[in-house]
Structure 1
Amino acid sequence: MTSWDDGAQQERSSLVRMYTVTGGRTAPRGGLAIEALVSSATSAVLGTSYSREYRAISELCRQVRSVAEVSALLAVPLGVARVLISDMEAEGLVRVYQPQVGTPEMNLLERVLSGLRRL
């Protein structure tokens, strides 16, 4: 077996693991934007009764991070990170701050336009 075969085998193994960690789900139970901010809801380190993914997310989110950042830093697919974070929120392990949806105020848009013109 070549080293390429070993890498492919490890990648398949990793993807199977992610599939089992999320219970086969590819989308979170509720809407979770990739730009949503996540922070740990507890200052204590999660014990071994939690999965290593939960412990890693909890540790990373001691500093507020976006869902996309968590995905990138843990090197897991975005869908997996969204499912895990959503589940952790339901268990009260993390806090999620969804972005505000709505139309920006005209004053803000005018200031942005003015700034762009000065460039």
Structure 2
Amino acid sequence: QGHRLFARQRGESKKVNEAAIAEGRCAVLQGSVADMIFAGDWFDAVTAFETVYFWPDLPRCFREVYRVLKPGGTFLICNESNGDTDKDEKWTEIIGGMTIYKDVELKTYLEQAGFHDVQIHKKKSWLCITARK
């Protein structure tokens, strides 16, 4: 189910960014966050919207994000489910391979990967976290 979801998101990403792709300002690639093709210190920012639920071996993935970020770069995670309510369990039952993490779990994994200045932002069920390399 996660693969179908990813394929749909990739297709929508191409559609939304059609003009930028045509102008050579954007590329939509498919790959694994656990083993990215990019050189170290490549990006100013990395974002993960509603995706870390499905990342295999989260500590390894966070180390890989850290590797591709430039020094001082920012990693932004946004999740609609923050693990604070029983409602979150219904999603993990419906969607195979989904893990909902609490803010403290993500903060610990991020810091273990080398990130600092980890800031947690919550609003209703949403959880956003920023971390710096």
TM over 0.5: no
TM, length-normalised to structure 2: 0.24
Bigger share in helix: 1
TM, length-normalised to structure 1: 0.25
Bigger share in strand: 2
